[in-house]
Amino acid sequence: VLSGCGVYDGTEIHEASAVLVHLSRGGAEVHMYAPDVPQMHVIDHSKGQPAEAESRNVLVESARIARGKITSLAKLTTADHDAVIFPGGFGAAKNLSTFAVDGKDCKVNKEVERVLKDFHKAGKPIGLCCISPVLAAKVLSGAEVTVGHEQEEGGKWPYAGTAGAIKELGAKHSHVDTKNKVVTTPAFMCETELHNIFDGIGAMVKNVLKLTGK
């Protein structure tokens, strides 16, 4: 499930690509989805600032990553899939939810909430990267997730505040929550080399596929 195209206002592209590579390597058949809604705002990634008077659609932007093969999230059903994965990027906190603005009091997009609850109820695994575990923390009571450390540690964990917010939502930090079948990885929540992020996402995908029992 994608949330746009670009780390500051949509899906983190490297994370989405890593997820797709590891799913391909694991022999999975993949379908991509995104909500057909306007983005919260558009960020000029060269400046890190909002582009005034510009608007974009989450589904249309996500199609860039999906190479055009993407479907509205409203059509995603558990009957057709063994698992669901949400890459990170600020789009998860801006377009899939209002976490970027409202923190622990955030609202989650209704289709995103439906998908998470449906997969959870069906006992099918859910994978989440980077900031996207906040979605499960908000929607799935008692889910164990990780977004990295609660302390910055000299800048290594620049988004450490998110961990505190997740704790306030009642969720714990964990990589594999076997009870709820929720698998998470910090990805770019940690300032580290790209290959480490790629490998962490690989471990998440491997565990998601393992939990499908196929």
50-62 pLDDT per residue, tens:
998 899 999 999 9
The active-site residue, picked from 106, 129, 130, 190, is 130
pLDDT of residue 161: 57
The distance from CA 84 to its chain's CA centroid, rounded to whole angstroms, is: 10
DSSP-derived secondary structure for 23-52: HHHTT----EEE--SB-S--EETTTTEE-T
pLDDT of residue 85: 98
Domain CATH number, residue 178: 3.40.50.880
What are the angstrom distances between the C-alpha of 123 and each of 71, 181, 182, 212?
A: 23, 7, 10, 9
| Tokens found for residue 63 | 């199609």
Structural domain total, the chain: 1
pLDDT of residue 174: 43
pLDDT of residue 171: 44
pLDDT of residue 158: 47
CA end-to-end span of the chain, whole Å? Answer: 21
Asked if the structure places residue 1 within a domain, the reply is no
Cα(123)–Cα(212) distance, rounded to whole angstroms? Answer: 9
Cα(138)–Cα(120) distance, rounded to whole angstroms? Answer: 13
pLDDT of residue 196: 85
Asked if the structure places residue 140 within a domain, the reply is yes
Domain that holds residue 119: 13-212
Known catalytic membership, residue 130: yes
The ranges of the chain with pLDDT < 70 are: 145-174, 190
